[in-house]
């Protein structure tokens, strides 16, 4: 038997596993690494996050990623090169993080790598009837396995698409196993570049849970700041948005897109929510000279309204709690507006034992744990939530 397959069988059968989960989202700002210890699988899964770090990308690397991301036309040679580079760079960042924590790489059983989404193309975006839903994450797992010596699982979204989904959101697979409650109705709201939530009705009925993207989280605000305030990456503590006033007509124009009428679950990305989207909304209302402050205040208002509307639509009249995660939970104006819209204060996933900044990296570690040591959760025959395990396995040699 191949020694690595024997190793994998041992890891799968062991009572616990150490898995490094890796996530880099649409902000292109760095690689989140969560070193996790798992025991059990399925609804018996228990996870302890041993260490978490965001390894920031250099400005140069961010620019390389930006040049090939979310555009219909890019340099194919660059995509090919970066597929290898992101893999080997991720391996270096994992080894650097392990060194910083004083944790030996031989003690890590598996790496679970999301890769970098460079284009997300559900049918609702491309509208080409002869083509399916599709999504592309690069940063090949073989490079990670070879350079770290650790068995690596990667490219989690393709199985979801192959089985009829849009390749996202995958959050439901982890949120259901780790964070659902027998009694409390929960919304787990992640505000990254794109915002998404998981609906977890109390009682843990897998046939009722789902995750959906809502629309933009930080991405429109971040893109606007990066273009208009050289040297700034985002509107820290919402200082700029707080100094402006939302333009009601602009907010309404931003909300007037058929994406917001699509049924749950729906998915999207910066391919749709970008500065052209903002420009089109300004043109639609014939107001091209709205101040920068008012534009940012409007983007914040729009983001909050789209989130509140989608949550209310999902939850109906039941009592529920909201648990936040993702970088947007550090934007005080956005959180205040969501909280006002819902009429109560919001919790975050730390209240459920998961560091909200680490949550998505933990999710991919959990998907690897299920792939190797667990199995499929049966969500029933539902659009957008195929009952599959995900991840491709790369051996180190
Ligand atoms: N103090 C703060 N004030 C305002 N916004 C903040 C603050 N801290 C973080 N943010 C927002 O969070 C963003 C980073 O969030 P995060 O890293 O979750 O995004 P992401 O990696 O793209 O997520 P995803 O993978 O879900 O797309 C920043 O770009 C900014 O918009
Ligand atoms: C295609 C893709 O990379 N989608 C991401 C993105 O970032 C947030 C949102 O859009 C979500 O759908 C997804 O990530 C999370 C981790 C998910 O799949 O649940």
Q: pLDDT tens digits, residue range 7-22?
A: 999 999 999 999 999 9
pLDDT band at 242 (very low <50, low <70, confident <90, very high): very high
CA angle (276, 278, 283) in 5-degree steps: 90
**Is residue 95 annotated as involved in ligand binding?**
no
In this prediction, residues 342-360 reach a mean pLDDT of 98
**Which of ligand 2's atoms lies nearest the C-alpha of 23?**
16
Asked if residue 121 has its Cβ within 6 Å of ligand 2, the reply is no
Does residue 49 form part of some domain? yes
Residue with CA at minimum distance from ligand 2 atom 14: 169
Chain segment 130-153, per-residue pLDDT in tens: 999 999 999 999 999 999 999 999
Rounded distance, CA 114 to CA 54, Å?
A: 14
Q: Token pair of 13, please? A: 């059968």
373 and 341 part of one domain: no
- Sign, Cα dihedral of 336, 341, 343, 348: negative
Residue with CA at minimum distance from ligand 1 atom 12: 327
Asked if residue 26 has its Cβ within 6 Å of ligand 2, the reply is yes
Asked if residue 115 has its Cβ within 6 Å of ligand 1, the reply is no
pLDDT value of residue 69:
98
The angle, 0 to 180 degrees and rounded to 10, between the axes of the packed helices 76-101 and 141-148 is 40
pLDDT band at 196 (very low <50, low <70, confident <90, very high): very high
Q: Token pair of 183, please? A: 């009694």
pLDDT band at 35 (very low <50, low <70, confident <90, very high): very high
206 and 274 part of one domain: yes
306 and 365 part of one domain: no
Task: Choose one of 29, 124, 174, 194 to mutate for the ligand 2 pocket test, by most ligand atoms within 8 angstroms of C-beta.
Answer: 194
Cβ(322)–Cβ(346) below 8 Å: yes
Beta-bridge mates of residue 212: 197
CA atoms within 13 A on the CB side of 118: 24
CA angle (85, 91, 93) in 5-degree steps: 100
As a whole-number percent, the residues of the chain with pLDDT over 90 amount to 99
**Is residue 29 annotated as involved in ligand binding?**
yes
268 and 200 part of one domain: yes
CATH number of 311's domain: 3.30.420.40
**Is residue 28 annotated as involved in ligand binding?**
yes
Does residue 241 form part of some domain? yes
166 and 182 part of one domain: no
Q: Give residue 25 CA to ligand 1 midpoint distance, Å.
A: 9
pLDDT value of residue 183:
97
219 and 70 part of one domain: no
Cβ(179)–Cβ(315) below 8 Å: no
Ligand found nearest the CA of 357: 1
Asked if residue 62 has its Cβ within 6 Å of ligand 1, the reply is no
Instruction: Give residue 107's domain range.
Output: 3-170+358-378+389-394
Does residue 216 form part of some domain? yes
Does residue 213 form part of some domain? yes
Chain segment 274-323, per-residue pLDDT in tens: 999 999 999 999 999 999 999 999 999 999 999 999 999 999 999 999 99
pTM: 0.97
Chain segment 330-340, per-residue pLDDT in tens: 999 999 999 99
**Is residue 32 annotated as involved in ligand binding?**
yes
Spatial neighbors of 252 by CB under 8 A, at least 6 apart, are none
Ligand found nearest the CA of 21: 2
Which ipTM score applies to this complex? 0.96
Does residue 384 form part of some domain? no
Task: Look at the chain and count its residues.
Answer: 397
Q: Token pair of 231, please? A: 């040297």
Asked if residue 192 has its Cβ within 6 Å of ligand 1, the reply is yes
Spatial neighbors of 27 by CB under 8 A, at least 6 apart, are 192, 193, 218, 219, 222, 327
Q: Of 119, 202, 200, 211, nearest to 165 (Cα)?
A: 211
152 and 217 part of one domain: no
Does residue 264 form part of some domain? yes
Rounded distance, CA 209 to CA 24, Å?
A: 25
Does residue 383 form part of some domain? no
183 and 280 part of one domain: yes
Cβ(183)–Cβ(191) below 8 Å: no
Q: Within its chain, how far is the Cα of 390 from the centroid? A: 15
pLDDT value of residue 267:
98
Chain segment 164-184, per-residue pLDDT in tens: 999 999 999 999 999 999 999
pLDDT value of residue 159:
98
Chain segment 68-97, per-residue pLDDT in tens: 999 999 999 999 999 999 999 999 999 999
pLDDT value of residue 139:
98
Domain tally for the chain?
Answer: 2
Does residue 223 form part of some domain? yes
**Which of ligand 1's atoms lies nearest the C-alpha of 235?**
4
Asked if residue 218 has its Cβ within 6 Å of ligand 2, the reply is no
Task: Identify the residue with better confidence: 146 or 129.
Answer: 146
235 and 309 part of one domain: yes
In this prediction, residues 94-106 reach a mean pLDDT of 98
212 and 133 part of one domain: no
3-state secondary structure of 389: coil
Residue with CA at minimum distance from ligand 1 atom 23: 192
234 and 321 part of one domain: yes
242 and 96 part of one domain: no
């Amino acid at each position: 038997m191949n020694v690595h397959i024997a190793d994998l069988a041992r890891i799968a059968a062991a009572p616990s596993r150490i898995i490094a989960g890796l996530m880099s989202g649409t902000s292109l700002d760095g690689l989140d690494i969560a070193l996790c210890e798992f025991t059990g699988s399925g609804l018996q899964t228990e996870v302890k996050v041993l260490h978490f770090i965001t390894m920031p990308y250099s400005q140069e690397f961010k620019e390389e990623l930006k040049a090939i991301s979310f555009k219909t036309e890019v340099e194919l040679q660059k995509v090919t090169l970066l597929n290898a580079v992101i893999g080997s760079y991720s391996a270096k960042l994992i080894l650097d993080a392990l060194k910083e924590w004083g944790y030996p790489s031989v003690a890590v059983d598996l790496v679970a790598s999301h890769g970098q989404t460079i284009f997300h193309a559900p049918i609702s975006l491309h509208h080409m009837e002869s083509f399916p839903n599709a999504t592309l994450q690069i940063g090949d797992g073989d490079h990670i396995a070879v350079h770290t010596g650790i068995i690596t699982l990667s490219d989690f979204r393709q199985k979801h698409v192959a089985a009829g989904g849009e390749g996202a959101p995958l959050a439901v697979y982890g949120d259901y196993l780790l964070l659902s409650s027998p009694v409390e109705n929960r919304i787990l709201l992640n505000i990254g570049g794109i915002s998404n939530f998981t609906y977890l009705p109390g009682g843990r009925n897998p046939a009722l849970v789902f995750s959906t993207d809502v629309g933009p989280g930080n991405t429109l605000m971040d893109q606007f700041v990066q273009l208009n305030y050289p040297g700034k990456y985002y509107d820290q503590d919402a200082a700029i948005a707080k100094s402006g006033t939302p333009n009601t007509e602009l907010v309404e124009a931003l909300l007037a897109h058929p994406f917001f009428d699509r049924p749950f679950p729906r998915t999207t990305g910066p391919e749709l929510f970008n500065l052209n989207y903002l420009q089109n909304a300004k043109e639609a209302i014939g107001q091209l000279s709205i101040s920068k402050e008012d534009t940012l205040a409007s983007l914040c208002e729009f983001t909050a309204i789209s989130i509140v509307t989608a949550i209310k639509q999902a939850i109906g009249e039941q009592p529920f709690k909201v648990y936040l995660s993702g970088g947007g939970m550090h934007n005080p104006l956005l959180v205040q507006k969501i909280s006002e819209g819902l009429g109560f204060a919001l919790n975050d996933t730390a209240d459920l034992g998961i560091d909200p900044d680490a949550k998505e990296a933990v999710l991919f570690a959990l998907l690897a744990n299920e792939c190797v040591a667990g199995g499929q959760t049966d969500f029933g025959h539902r659009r957008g939530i195929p009952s599959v395990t995900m991840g491709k396995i790369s051996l180190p040699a």
